[in-house]
Amino acid sequence: LGYCYEYGIGIENDVNKSFHWYSEAAKNENKAAQYNLARYYENGIFIEKDETKAFELYKRSAEHGYLDARYKIAYFYNNGIGTKVDKEKAFKLFYEVAEKGNEFAQNNLGILYERGEGIEKDLNEAIYWYNKAAENGNEIAQYNLGKYYESGIGIKKDEVKAFEFYKKSAEREHSFAQNNLGILYLKGEGTKKDLEKAIYWFTKAAENGNEVAQY
């Protein structure tokens, strides 16, 4: 009922009523309701923002096996939202969710391996998980892979692959990828030199707030 009121399914949209019914269902340990109620507290939707309350609700939902809630708990631990930073717990939870195919968890797992946070630094594992996330359409992972292939750090340098990953990410509106794609077109690295396309991607990046492209 809370879901129906939130999205106006078969009934007029009413966020206050959706909050009420999510709250009632959450008291009865409904994992989906706990997750949705946590979203309200996290984002301050028609109630005062309360990240601690959001964390508690996500945690209860996660304990009942709700996968999206497990990702949220990992994210909160990783960034110290509503709880203390705990990189080891974040890593463990990201890993569990990443293995289920969650692109965001896969990308975050790559970042933790890259930085050596919560786990020993391992660029091979970082690249492995970035690839997994990129295959699932994650634009941040696609951008990160582009950087690896362009620099040749932790992997054999390959300007063509760098171009391909930057392009995938740029098409999903990642401003840094758009700027880097513009640079590759400008220099003719990994692709044929094309000033018109370079300007196009610099413009896209600038419109998306990229300060380097704006400069």
Q: How far apart are CA 159 and CA 149, in angstroms?
A: 6
Residue 160, domain extent: 143-215
Is 203 contained in some domain?
yes
Q: Which of 122, 111, 113, 168 is nearest to 142 (CA)?
A: 168
Is 25 contained in some domain?
no
Which residues are CB-contacts of 57 (< 8 A; sequence separation ≥ 6)? Answer: 26, 34, 35, 37, 38, 41
> Cα dist. 71→91, 92, 162 in Å?
10, 10, 29
Is 70 contained in some domain?
no
14, exposed or middle or buried, with CB in 10 Å at 0-12, 13-18, 19+? middle
User: What is residue 33's predicted lDDT score, i.e. its pLDDT?
Assistant: 84
Enter the DSSP assignment of 190: S
User: What is residue 72's predicted lDDT score, i.e. its pLDDT?
Assistant: 97
- The position carrying tokens 């740029």 is 170
User: What is residue 161's predicted lDDT score, i.e. its pLDDT?
Assistant: 98
User: What is residue 86's predicted lDDT score, i.e. its pLDDT?
Assistant: 98
Is 116 contained in some domain?
no
Give average pLDDT by consecutive 10-residue segment, the chain, 215 residues. 50 58 74 88 88 96 95 98 98 98 98 98 98 98 98 95 98 96 97 96 90 64
Measured on CA atoms in the order 61, 62, 66, 69, is the torsion positive or negative? positive
CATH number of 175's domain:
1.25.40.10
User: Which secondary structure element, helix H or strand E, spans residue 141, and what is its range?
Assistant: helix 139-151
Is 2 contained in some domain?
no
Domain tally, the chain:
1
Is 159 contained in some domain?
yes
- In this structure, what token pair is assigned to residue 209? 């707030």
Enter the DSSP assignment of 171: T
Q: How far apart are CA 26 and CA 37, in angstroms?
A: 8
- In this structure, what token pair is assigned to residue 170? 């740029």
User: What is residue 29's predicted lDDT score, i.e. its pLDDT?
Assistant: 87
